[in-house]
Every structure is written in structure tokens, then in C-alpha cells.
Structure 1
């Protein structure tokens, strides 16, 4: 009888202690990457932010990641696996993860999800992205004045609004400082494929490009630019080590402050579904240091443009701007609203070639 009473007391004590122990369990935070963490571009910068979360919160969090996850059914399987393994918060970091994220989130209503660059939300799904087009405006000003052939090459991934916005913003900025500039665009239909990106860079050089921009994830184009003695810009990360003489500047994705903010909200119980679209003003978009090869007056102009965007005095899409077919899009002094930018599916006037469907 005495042993039974002691056993009951022990069980009761264990039950009382269980909530306290559970409260000390780390928050499990997962990340799904479309490319390898060593791409030195998009996925690399997301993983740098994951490491910043670990540094900020220590043993209060436990992070993990899955890399090289293709967009589509594989993403859904990876997400479900992560949700089933007890993750409390999951970041899905590519546009094509949108529908798989929504589907798995519905099956796991107690798990919080954050989807990068998408537009579909739910009670347990937030969305976030950066205004990369602001950075494209700044480097477009540089590219338009650094080209000698008046031909700028652009390696594009997929014809989604995010990528189309970047092309248009860069072209309009380059055209504003060089009326003779033209863009040559190659669509590679991949986010990360160094071989395809290198082939595209070489093809653009063969077409006369002496400056290359990209919206793909590897430093392959920068490496080719270095080999061929032309200019290029870092994409997502600085990429200076791959083109010490080729690199003019870069657009750097800084996800760390956002990730830390959202993990903190999950830890303190204030997390809720939100939509975030940050730019130069929030630090989500950073402009890499300007190379000394850029003349001082061009560097000053680019820096002034970045500052004006940060302060809200300059919007990269300010009229008059026509669509590619010559129809009026923005009147004199009119600026594009976010809704139009988020759905952008057209080239602006002056860009040659057909936008893929």
C-alpha cells in the first residue's frame, strides 16, 4: 500500500513537472531551400540568416534545413516531413513552394509557416519578400554608364513578376543615363544551374554584351565575366571573390533581421500571419560596395539614388512609362502601386523580345 501511494505521488510530481520541462524545450525552426547552401547566392544568404537566428537565440531554438528541394511534389513531401518531425516554425524560401506550403499548412494548423516571395496566406502562413527592383535600379544606373558596347546582358530565371520587375527596373535606370543602351535577355528556366548560367553568359557576350546582370543563384556568370574581361554584378550575395576585377557592385539579400524578428514572435507567442515587402529602407535589400573601377561621379549618382529610395524620395517606377507595345502605363509623375508591381507580366517600352508565358 505504501509503495502504491509513493508511486502515485511520484506520478503526480512528474505530471506537475512536465509542463515546466516542456516550456524549456527549444523552438524547432526549419528551412527549405531550393538550391544548395553553397550556391553563394539565394540559398546561401537564407542560410546565413538561419545561422544568425542560432547566434541570437542560442539554446532557445533548434534549427535545421533541407537543401536542393525542387519546386513541386518534392517540396510538399519535404514540408510534410519537416512538419511531422515536430517543427514549430518553417520557412519555405522559393516562389514555387507557395502551393505546397499552403497545402501542408492546412494539414498542420498548429505549425507556423513563412513563405518567401509568394502571395497566398492563411491563418498559419505568412508571406515575405524584398523589393529587389530597388537594387536593380541602382545597379542599372551603373551598368548603363559602364557599358562601352551599349549592350547589357541579363540572365533571367523564370518569367514571374519578381523577375520581370527586376528586368524592367534595371532597363529603365540604364536607359535614363544612356539612351542607346539595349538589353539582351536569356531565360534559363532554372534558379540554380551553374552550367546553364555559364552558357547563357557566354551567349550574351557573343551577342555583344560587356556588362552582365542576373536573376539566378550561382556565381557562374561572375566567373565568366572575370575570365572574359567584362563587368558583372553580384546577385543575392556579394560574389566579389568570384570576380575581383569584373564585379562592379551587388544586390545583397539580408534576411537575418526578419528571421530573428519572426522567431522572436514565435517564442513569445505574438506570431501572427503577416505580409512583409521590405526594401532598401528596411535593410532587406543592401547595395554592395562600389568598385573603384566605377568613376567617382557614377558612384556618387548611384549612392544618391539608393539614399533617395531609402528615404522615399525616389520610386524606380515613376512615369512617364509605356508598356512594350507603346500603350501608356504610367503618366508623367505617376508611380506604380504595389498591386500592379506584384502582378507585373509585361516588358516596358524599349525592351526587345517576347516575354515567355
Structure 2
């Protein structure tokens, strides 16, 4: 009886000890909470353009960093979600556990600043903005806000070169989004690349090259609020512009070129933003300059996970050893199957010149559209002079404002 009574007395103590021992043991990975990062997209996550490139950057982080998880909200724009603000979406992502949030449009710049001030302990990154650039003209970000952008100017120069090498009419169209410093400097970069290859590689007179920009009013079509990019692309092709360079987030320039080519026209397009951008009409695609956001996303997430967050502003360029390296190059260019072998070789020569510095297209003399001096003879543009781009350049057709 005494031994049985002892057993029943000790049993609760033995069970408690076992529970304590089990709680002290190593936890399995499945029990760990993932590190959550949020992404706010201006367009659809699968637009084959700007927003999909950001979505794929989130997937890149998930692949590179175990136990990380992306949550996202797409179509944050006046057409798809009227009245929805960036701070509202940030609040919602925080409730879902986001430890850092990426806002992926210049249009989100002011909303990002508002959200950063509201949540001072939340690291937040506005892609393409300049509020965290201490040397910039609009520095006002709090310590928890950073910016990064890719030096797409190089990608657009390459696109312009490919267009000039291919055109048979000497008329290149540029399908532009809204008008701001970023879009003006990218359109100008395409023009400079086209003019260089037209004159230096083909030996033709710059006066015989036409370069026209038409702005639709936003990054993609919003019915009733923007021009229809399909109609704009058709207008280009039907008036002798046989190559259209896209500067918008979606694929209308390429899709329409495909339709025109099937109807017997000799036309081509250059897509934008997303590495796989040629896939909708590869037979007329000369190539695609694209953003590779993965490494920049990875850096930001790692800084937070390692407790090393600090404010920064990065303007990341191509890795000139391999502009299509997914782990090192922020900007790349994929040649399309419509680019001839001869012109592909010429394009490689042009890219090598950009890489080694023997070709510098932001070097004077250059004038703005109104005839005022942009860069004097021999003057090389600073980052400030390139980033803040008040007008299109002399030789370009289309409005600057």
C-alpha cells in the first residue's frame, strides 16, 4: 500500500518534469514563424511588366532566404481600387505580420512617407523614389524609410540602339506613361542610344532619324482616364513608325506589332520592365530592357532580419561582366528573336562601349527641347542632372510637360 501511494504521489511530478524537458528541447523548423515582408504593387502581379518584375523579386527572396514569406496587394491604383491609399494598405499588411514593406511606384512616394511617419518602427522602402537621397532635391524621409532604383537609363540606351539598327523607315515611336523626371530621362536615354547607333554604326545623318514620344497619362491603361495604349501603338505603326519602344508597364506595343506583322506589315517592338516580356509576340520582339529587383529586395530583407537596418538610397546599375546575371545585375537586356544576327553583334559592341566607358551618352554638347543648354561641350552629367530631368532633348518630338 505504501509503494502504491508513493507512486500516485510522484506521478504528477514526473509528468511535469517530462513536460519541462520537452519544452527545453530544440524546436522543429515547422514550429518557427516565417519572416513576413509586404509588397504593394501598382498593377496586376502578372502584368508581364513592372509589377510582375517586383512580384518575382519577392519570390527570389523566398527562394534565397529560408522561412521568409511574401504577402502582397496588387492593383493599387485609381482605376482598380479608387480611394484606397498606401497608408491604408500598409496598415493592413502590418496586421498580417509584415516586418518590412516595399511600395513599388513613384506614385506611392507621398503615401509611403505618410506611412513611414505613422509607423516609425517599420522599415519601409519606396522603389524609384528620392525621399531618402540626402544629396537629392527632395530629401525628407524619416530613418525607417529607404529608396532604391535601377539605372534603367542603360537599358533604354540599349533599346534605342536596337530600334535604330532595325528601323527601315527611320521613324521610332516611344509609348510613354505619365510625364515626370523618371519618364523623361528614360525616353531621352532611348533617344540617345538610337541616335548614337544610327549615326555611328550605320553612318546615317541624325536629321534623318525621327523619334516621337506619345504619353498615355499613367503607367498603364485606365479606361476613361488615360489614352488607350493599343490605339497609340496602332497610330504609330499606321503612320510609318516601324519600331515602337514601350515605356509603359504593359504589353500593348508588342501585341499590336504582332497583329500588324501577321497582316503583312514589317514592324517591330521593344518591350519593357520584365525579363520574359517578349513572350507574347516573340516573332516581332527586338528585345526587352528589364529590371532585376531580386538582389535589392534581398539586401533590404536581410538588413531587417539581421537587425542592421539603416536608411539608404541606392541607384543600382548593370553588372557589366554579365548584365543578365540574376544575382548581381539590377538592370539587364534580353535580345529578342526578331533582332538580326548582324544587329545583335552591333548591339554587343554598343553594350561593351557602355561597359568600358568609351561610350558616354550623357556627355555634352546636349540641348533641351527648348534650345537651352543641358550639357556644355565635354561636360559629363552628374547623377543629379540625370535624375532630375526637366525636359526632353533637342531632336525628340513630343511634349515635355
Give the structure-2-normalised TM-score: 0.79
Contact 1:141 1:302 in 2 (8 A): yes
Of 238, 243, 246, 2:284 maps to 246
2:268 maps to what in 1? 231
**C-alpha separation between the residues in 1 aligned to 2:251 and 2:345?**
27
Per-residue deviation, 1:194: 8.4
1:149 maps to what in 2? 169
State yes or no: 1:94 paired with 2:89.
no
Of 138, 158, 161, 2:158 maps to 138
The aligned runs of 1:272-283 (5 Å cut-off) are 272-281=310-319, 283=329
State yes or no: 1:82 paired with 2:132.
no
Question: Quick one: structure 1 residues 276 and 312, their matched pair in 2 at CA, closer, same or farther if it must change by over 3 Å?
Answer: farther
State yes or no: 1:218 paired with 2:238.
no
**C-alpha separation between the residues in 1 aligned to 2:296 and 2:162?**
29
Worse overlay, 303-312 or 228-237: 303-312
Question: Quick one: structure 1 residues 96 and 305, their matched pair in 2 at CA, closer, same or farther if it must change by over 3 Å?
Answer: same
**C-alpha separation between the residues in 2 aligned to 1:235 and 1:276?**
21
1:291 maps to what in 2? 337
**C-alpha separation between the residues in 2 aligned to 1:93 and 1:336?**
27
**C-alpha separation between the residues in 1 aligned to 2:329 and 2:130?**
21
Per-residue deviation, 1:187: 0.9
Per-residue deviation, 1:312: 4.1
The aligned runs of 1:1-357 (5 Å cut-off) are 24-59=32-67, 61-70=68-77, 73-121=84-132, 122-176=142-196, 177-178=198-199, 179=206, 180-193=208-221, 196-229=228-261, 230-237=267-274, 238-281=276-319, 283-291=329-337, 293-296=339-342, 298-356=343-401
Per-residue deviation, 1:24: 4.7
Per-residue deviation, 1:131: 1.0
Question: Quick one: structure 1 residues 141 and 80, their matched pair in 2 at CA, closer, same or farther if it must change by over 3 Å?
Answer: same
SS in 2 for 1:58: coil
Contact 1:290 1:299 in 2 (8 A): no
Question: Quick one: structure 1 residues 162 and 142, their matched pair in 2 at CA, closer, same or farther if it must change by over 3 Å?
Answer: same
Stretches of 4+ aligned residues off by more than 4 angstroms: none
1:196-241 per-position Cα deviation (integer Å, ceiling 9, x unaligned): 2211101212332100011111112101011112101121123222
2:324 maps to what in 1? none
Per-residue deviation, 1:145: 2.2
Contact 1:29 1:88 in 2 (8 A): yes
Q: Which has the larger radius of gyration?
A: 2
Number of residue pairs matched by the alignment: 344
Contact 2:285 2:338 in 1 (8 A): no
Contact 2:86 2:115 in 1 (8 A): no
SS in 1 for 2:173: strand
Per-residue deviation, 1:324: 1.3
Per-residue deviation, 1:308: 3.1
1:132-170 per-position Cα deviation (integer Å, ceiling 9, x unaligned): 111111121121121112111111111111111111111
Per-residue deviation, 1:80: 2.2
1:239-287 per-position Cα deviation (integer Å, ceiling 9, x unaligned): 2221121101110211111111221121111121110101223511101
Per-residue deviation, 1:294: 2.2
Per-residue deviation, 1:85: 3.3
SS in 2 for 1:264: helix
**C-alpha separation between the residues in 2 aligned to 1:173 and 1:150?**
14
Contact 1:280 1:309 in 2 (8 A): no
Give the structure-1-normalised TM-score: 0.89
